[in-house]
């Protein structure tokens, strides 16, 4: 199959990137082979988050981990669309579970597809959408003729994300996921039994790259706290 076979499959809010399994290191390959032993190609769906409502997580017992958001439901359904197209050609595929459950970081897999890169915030970003990108990853046994398209570096190293982080999770050249997680938990605990699961977006909103989604809902979140 060729990369072009997938053009027109997804709406304009989503892009798809491809990378041969040969581009990944031994640990990444091992983690992916646990899901699909004969994986040949990594396919990444990148969805542009255009409203903070899309990234407002809410409790949902039917989803793994018991929570979801509209951006993930959409990216997942686009991933299933790609899986279906591959299956009709006789290829086996796996749509990877959400990060934290599968042992590989979607954003590091996505960098090798050329869809974007990691900014100093350690968020996946590109010049068009900034860090407002939600990722899903598909592994397939199909060999897809793909040339990763080089993406211009979007991060200008302005330091705004580092300054904005209330948890001290973003450091020069380093990111402490536990500090970020604890900061998020602090937000959630402050709200008690909220029907929605509140997220901190301060590093994203500080970033000057890409159009930031409408902020009304986020202001509302912080007012409630
Ligand atoms: S989401 Fe919030 S706590 Fe986490 S790195 Fe960004 S600004 Fe810091
Ligand atoms: S806020 Fe500045 S340093 Fe941080 S990711 Fe965006 S452009 Fe890069």
pLDDT tens-digit series, residues 11-60: 999 999 999 999 999 999 999 999 999 999 999 999 999 987 888 877 78
Q: What is the separation of C-alpha 45 from the centre of its chain, rounded to a whole number of angstroms?
A: 8
Give DSSP secondary structure letters for 102-154: SSS-HHHHHHTTTS-EE-TTS-EEBTTTBT-EEEEEEEESS--B--PPP----
Least confident of 112-126, 135-149, 180-194: 180-194
Instruction: Take residue 18 and report the two structure tokens written for it.
Output: 């491809």
Q: pTM to 2 decimals?
A: 0.90
Instruction: Please identify which residue in the block is written with the tokens 């793909």.
Output: 146
- Is pLDDT at 225 greater than 80 in this prediction? no
The residue among 113, 111, 105, 102 whose CA lies nearest residue 43 is: 113
Any atom of ligand 1 within 6 Å of the Cβ of 218: no
Among 127, 153, 157, name the best residue to mutate to test ligand 2's pocket (greatest count of ligand atoms within 8 A of Cβ): 157
Distance of CA 119 from the midpoint of ligand 1 (Å): 13
Average pLDDT across the chain, whole number: 86
Please name the residue whose Cα sits nearest to atom 6 of ligand 1.
Answer: 203
Least confident of 30-34, 51-55, 119-123, 172-176: 51-55
What's the pLDDT band for 116 if we cut at 50, 70, 90? very high
């Amino acid at each position: 199959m060729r990369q072009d076979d997938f053009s027109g499959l997804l709406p304009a809010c989503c892009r798809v990137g491809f990378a041969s399994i040969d581009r990944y290191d031994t640990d990444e390959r091992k983690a992916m082979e646990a899901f699909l032993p004969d994986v040949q190609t990594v396919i990444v769906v990148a969805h542009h988050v255009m409203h903070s409502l899309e990234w407002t997580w809410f409790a949902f017992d039917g989803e793994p981990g018991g929570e979801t958001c509209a951006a993930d439901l959409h990216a997942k359904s686009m991933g299933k669309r790609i899986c279906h197209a591959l299956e009709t050609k006789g290829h086996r595929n796996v749509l990877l579970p959400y990060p934290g459950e599968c042992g590989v970081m979607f954003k590091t897999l996505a960098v090798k597809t050329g869809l974007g890169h990691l900014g100093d915030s350690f968020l996946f970003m590109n010049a068009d959408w900034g860090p407002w990108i939600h990722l899903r990853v598909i592994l397939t046994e199909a060999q897809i003729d793909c040339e990763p398209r080089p993406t211009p570096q979007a991060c200008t190293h302005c330091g705004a994300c580092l300054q904005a982080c209330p948890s001290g999770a973003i450091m020069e050249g380093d990111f402490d996921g536990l500090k970020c997680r604890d900061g998020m938990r602090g937000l959630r605990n402050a709200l008690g039994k909220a029907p929605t699961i509140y997220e901190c977006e301060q590093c994203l909103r500080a970033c000057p790259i890409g159009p930031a989604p409408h902020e009304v809902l986020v202001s509302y979140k912080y007012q409630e706290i």
